[in-house]
Chain A
Amino acid sequence: MSADADAPVALRPPRHRVSPRAVRWWTLRAALGWLVVVAAEAVWLAVGPVDATVQAVALAATVAVALAHAIGMPRWRYRVHRWEAAPEALYTQAGWFDQERRIAPVSRIQTVDTARGPLEQLLGLATVTVTTASAAGPLRIAGLDRRTADALVHELTLAARAGADDAT
């Protein structure tokens, strides 16, 4: 313990945000999802409307919700998704209604995975998932800049290899 326990301290948010391009990624993903719903409603309205006014209103409402979600969600998420890697521990934060912060000692890290979906590849992003020997909650950092992700994975893999015991 470095500081004395009496000093008022708090867990501060992790230092780094994910890549700003992640906003575009989340927007794109949300938009694609909503597009399917909106298209289905539009086709129904065009081909065989049961009650044209009600359906038109529903379509308009869907579009409004979709716009709000696709524009609002990524910006909010960009504000709350944070991460930080210290020499001894990895620290992540996510969630806006239920805020969750996870800390894992680097010495207990077992696997470090990188995943890149099609949209992420397009935008040069990557998702890093770090697991420990516990089945409870791996640490996940989504929307990292690809170069940052590679550096982080490299660093964590080296550190995890250094602590070569069972890690349980």
Chain B
Amino acid sequence: MSPGDGWRRLSPRMLAVQPALELVRAVPALLGVAIVGSGSGRGGQWALGAAVLIAAIGTLRWLTTSYRITPDQVQLRRGLLRRRVLSVARDRVRTVDVTASPLHRAVGLARVRVGTGHGGRSGERALTLDGLKAAEAARLRGELLHRAAPAPPAPDAADAAADADAAPVAERELARLDPAWIRFGPFTLSGVAALAVAGALAARFASEAHLEPEDFGILREAADHVLGAPAGVAIAEVAAVLAVVVALLSTGGYVLSSWGFSLTRHAGGTLHVRRGLLTTRAVSIEERRMRGVEVAETLLLRVPGGARCTAIATGLRPGGGAERGGALLLPPAPRAEAVRVAGLVLGDPGVATAPLTPHGPAARRRRCARALTPVAAAAAARLAAPPRAGGPAWPWIAALALLPAAALLAADRARSLGHALAGPWLVVRRGSIVRRRSTLARDGIIGWTVRRSFFQRRMGLATLTATTAAGRQRYAVLDVDEAEALRLARAATPGLLDPFLAAPPGDRYEAASRSGAAAGSSAGSGAGASAGSERAARSS
């Protein structure tokens, strides 16, 4: 990399890729144009014109885009009429994400996305170099992330050479995809979205091409069969077919996104995740930004005993957009494997299996009340106002049917609740539909929120939330005993709460400290003994 004025174009092979990608992205718009144009009977020509225009824009975009990497900045310049220069200071680079679609791979290119660690903040956009040679992309990733110590920046050539030397020995594998994990594919439900998209596209194509479902023998027979069958049988059949299709699609989705998965730790202080069958993706997370790990099990994944593992890191928010899946450390895999990976990533295998203190009967009552009250209220309202003139009975039946489901959900939610303090980690578990066990570094906690609703105050409970700059930004200990919440917060961040403490006044705190005595009095004292006291409280 020559310093100075060295603006460079992206690889010219992008000229082959970019127009095609633009075309794919523009398929819905093209369809729209074709449909609108079809009124004049020349939809095809309109669509062709639009396609040519889009390809031309792609070429123009390549011509007007250039980048350069200086000793302290990565810069991207683009735009024809409105020139824009995006700059990212190299010491601000937190994540580097290398993806390659099948088209990119066909011509040996990759897309490099440089994240600044504030991916969640609005207005701050990551810098994307779309179209570097694959080898150069990999080299750039190493160069951007593995700055040898925060010393003055070394000359680039030496830097790169050192990286190339170090790479083969300095990388240690933590996990790798076992093909047997594909059995978790059907339980991920990623196929639901795929089915919806496919259905919408099919409907659009059908209407565009003036196709009627009746024209296809198979579809007509299927429709006749379903319409002819009794309602119960028809519903069961349709549901079974849907379930099979979704399971197949989900499995396909799992293979597409997770094939070739590997998680490695680089001695330079990064975690690398590689995965993808057609579109390959390589994500690097700086370990300096890691604040913990989350093991999540959806209700469905719990059936075959699966779980996934994600990183809690500053600048990496779970959620949608381009960052989607950026924090994933392990795709759905056996629970034991997720726990093992969590332990390895945290560098402390004990934490991932540390026993949790349950939240007790008061928390269970509250979960039940929250789940059952709306359903019971709906049923009661229906009872109080009996159907006049034969109103539909199904809402009432539905409410009654939901009652046991809500009760089960509440019981499972209550069972999920738990917390522990294990050395430098705060461990929190909650949820039923998605049960998450979050392990958060204590020094990653940058504030507390103690929330007590009217009902919680009556039951002596509180919701203690640790706020952090990483991951979900907030990790809540739900419905924990007031005294236990205070003990936990004090032990997790010693000294922070001390200026605001007082002997409990006689009234409402008394109940809290009395019911908390079981947990509080068995504790030794202070942060050091906390893990032991949790075990004691659990066994009692």
What is the interface of chain A, defined by CB distance below 8 A to chain B? 1-12, 14, 84, 86-89, 91, 97-105, 108, 132-137, 139, 167-168
Q: Cβ of A168 and Cβ of B470 under 8 Å apart? A: yes
Closest B residue, CB atoms, query A97 = B454
A4, B502: Cβ atoms closer than 8 Å: no
Given contacts A133-B314, A136-B465, contact A10 B120 (CB under 8 A): no
Q: Mark B107-131, 1 if CB is under 8 A from A, else 0.
A: 0000000000000110000000000
B465 CB, nearest partner CB in chain A, Å: 7
- Evaluate contact between A134 and B447: CB separation under 8 angstroms: yes
CA–CA, A9 to B487, complex, Å?
Answer: 9
Which chain A residue lies CB-closest to B533?
A: A5
- B169: CB under 8 A from chain A? no
B452 touches A (CB below 8 Å): yes
Q: Contact check, B499 vs A88: say whether CB atoms are below 8 A apart.
A: yes
Q: Is A9 within 8 A of B504, CB to CB? A: yes
A166 to chain B, nearest CB (A): 8
List CB contacts (< 8 Å) of B444-477 with chain A.
444, 446-454, 457, 465, 467-470, 472-474
Instruction: Return chain A residues, CB-CB under 8 Å to B449.
Output: 100-103, 136-137
Q: Give the distance in Å from the alpha carbon of A72 to the alpha carbon of B509 in the complex.
A: 26
**Chain A residues near B509 (CB, 8 Å)?**
10
Contact check, B525 vs A136: say whether CB atoms are below 8 A apart. no
Residues of A within 8 A of B493 (CB): 105
Which of B482, B486, B499, B503 has the largest count of A CB atoms less than 10 A from its CB? B499
Complexed CA–CA distance, A164 and B453 (Å): 36
- Contact with B486, one of A11, A88, A89 (Cβ below 8 angstroms): A11
Contact of A132 among B469, B490, B498, B513 (CB under 8 A): B469
Partner of A2, one of B450, B487, B495: B495
Q: Are B499 and A1 in contact (CB under 8 A)?
A: no
Q: Which residues of B contact A (CB under 8 A)?
A: 120-121, 314, 444, 446-454, 457, 465, 467-470, 472-474, 482-483, 486-487, 490-491, 493-505, 509, 512-513, 520-521, 523-527
CB-defined A-B contacts under 8 Å, sample of 17: A1-B491, A1-B527, A5-B525, A10-B482, A10-B486, A12-B500, A12-B501, A12-B502, A100-B451, A102-B449, A105-B446, A105-B493, A134-B446, A136-B465, A136-B472, A137-B447, A167-B469
What distance in Å separates the Cβ of A105 from its nearest Cβ neighbour in chain B? 6
In the bound complex, how far is the Cα of B464 from the Cα of A136, in angstroms? Answer: 13
Q: Pick the 8 closest A-B CB pairs, nearest first.
A: A133-B469, A136-B474, A86-B499, A12-B502, A168-B469, A10-B504, A104-B447, A108-B446
A5 contacts B451, C-beta separation under 8 Å: no
Contacts of B520 in A (CB 8 A): 5-6, 8
Q: A1-B490, A136-B473 are in contact. Are A98 and B495 (CB under 8 A)?
A: no
Cβ contacts under 8 Å, A136 to chain B: 449, 465, 467-468, 472-474
* A88–B451 alpha-carbon span in the complex (Å): 21
For the complex, give the distance between the alpha carbons of A12 and B486 in Å: 11
Please report the C-alpha to C-alpha distance between residue A65 and residue B407 in the assembled complex, in whole angstroms: 38
Given A1-B494, A103-B500, A136-B465: A108 touches B447 (CB 8 Å cut-off):
yes
Instruction: Report A-chain residues with C-beta under 8 Å of the C-beta of B473.
Output: 134-136
A137 touching B486, Cβ below 8 Å: no
| A74 to B453 alpha-carbon distance, docked (Å) | 20
- Looking across the interface, which residue of chain B has its beta carbon closest to that of A87? B499
CB atoms of A8 and B525 under 8 A apart: no
Question: Contact at B470–A91, with CB atoms within 8 Å?
Answer: no
20 further A-B contacts with Cβ under 8 Å, apart from A9-B504, A98-B453, are A1-B494, A1-B498, A1-B525, A1-B526, A6-B520, A6-B523, A10-B503, A11-B486, A14-B500, A88-B496, A89-B496, A102-B449, A103-B449, A103-B450, A132-B469, A133-B446, A133-B469, A136-B465, A136-B468, A137-B447
How many Å lie between the Cα of A104 and that of B521 in the bound state?
28
User: Of residues B120, B447, B467, which shows the largest number of chain A Cβ atoms within 10 Å of its Cβ?
Assistant: B447
Q: How far is the CB of A8 from the nearest CB of chain B, in Å?
A: 5
Contacts known (A134-B467, A136-B474, A168-B470); A103 close to B496, Cβ less than 8 A: yes
The answer, among B314, B453, B483, B498, for a CB contact under 8 Å with A3, is B498
Q: Contacting B496 at CB < 8 Å: which of A7, A98, A102, A105?
A: A105
Residue of B446, B482, B504 touching A168 (CB-CB under 8 A): B446
Q: Roughly how many angstroms separate A97 CA and B500 CA in the complex, as a whole number? A: 22
Closest Cβ of chain B to A163, distance in Å, is 11
The answer to whether B498 and A2 touch across the interface, beta carbons within 8 angstroms, is yes
| Chain B CB within 10 A, most for which of A5, A84, A137 | A5
Give A4 to B494 CA distance when docked, in angstroms. 12
Q: Which residue of A lies closest to B465 (CB)?
A: A136
Known: A5-B487, A91-B500, A136-B474. A105 touches B494 (CB 8 A): no
Instruction: With CB as the reference atom, state the residue of chain A lying closest to B487.
Output: A5
- Which residues of B have CB within 8 Å of A168? 314, 444, 446, 469-470
Cβ distance A70 to chain B, nearest Cβ, rounded Å:
23
Contacting pair B467 A10 (CB below 8 A):
no
Enumerate chain A residues within 8 angstroms of B447, measured Cβ to Cβ. 102-105, 108, 132, 134, 137, 139
CA distance A156 to B453 in the complex (A): 30
Residues of A contacting B512 in the complex (Cβ-Cβ under 8 angstroms): 10
Interface-central residue, A1, A4, A86, A102, by most chain B CB under 10 Å: A1
CB distance from A48 to the nearest CB of B (A): 34
CB pair B490–A99 under 8 Å, yes or no, is no
* Chain A residues, Cβ within 8 Å of B452: 98-100
CB-nearest residue of chain A to B521: A6
Given contacts A132-B447, A168-B470, contact A10 B526 (CB under 8 A): no
Question: In the complex the two chains form, is A5's CB within 8 Å of B469's CB?
Answer: no
Q: Which residues of B contact A8 (CB under 8 A)?
A: 483, 503-504, 513, 520
The answer to whether B470 and A98 touch across the interface, beta carbons within 8 angstroms, is no
User: Which residues of the partner chain B approach A97 to less than 8 Å between Cβ atoms?
Assistant: 453-454
Docked CA distance A167–B117 (Å) = 13
Would you call A132 and B482 a contact (CB within 8 A)? Answer: no
A98/B451 contact (C-beta < 8 A), A6-B521, A133-B446 known? yes
Residues of B within 8 A of A7 (CB): 503
What is the chain A residue whose CB lies nearest that of B529? A5
Q: Which residues of chain A come closer than 8 Å to B474, judged between CB atoms?
A: 134, 136-137
* In the complex, residue of chain A having the shortest beta-carbon distance to the beta carbon of B517: A8
Which residues of B lie under 8 Å from residue A105 when comparing CB positions?
A: 446-447, 493, 496
Closest Cβ neighbor of A84 among chain B residues: B500
- The minimal Cβ–Cβ distance linking B323 to chain A, given in whole angstroms, is 14
**B463 → chain A closest CB, angstroms:** 9
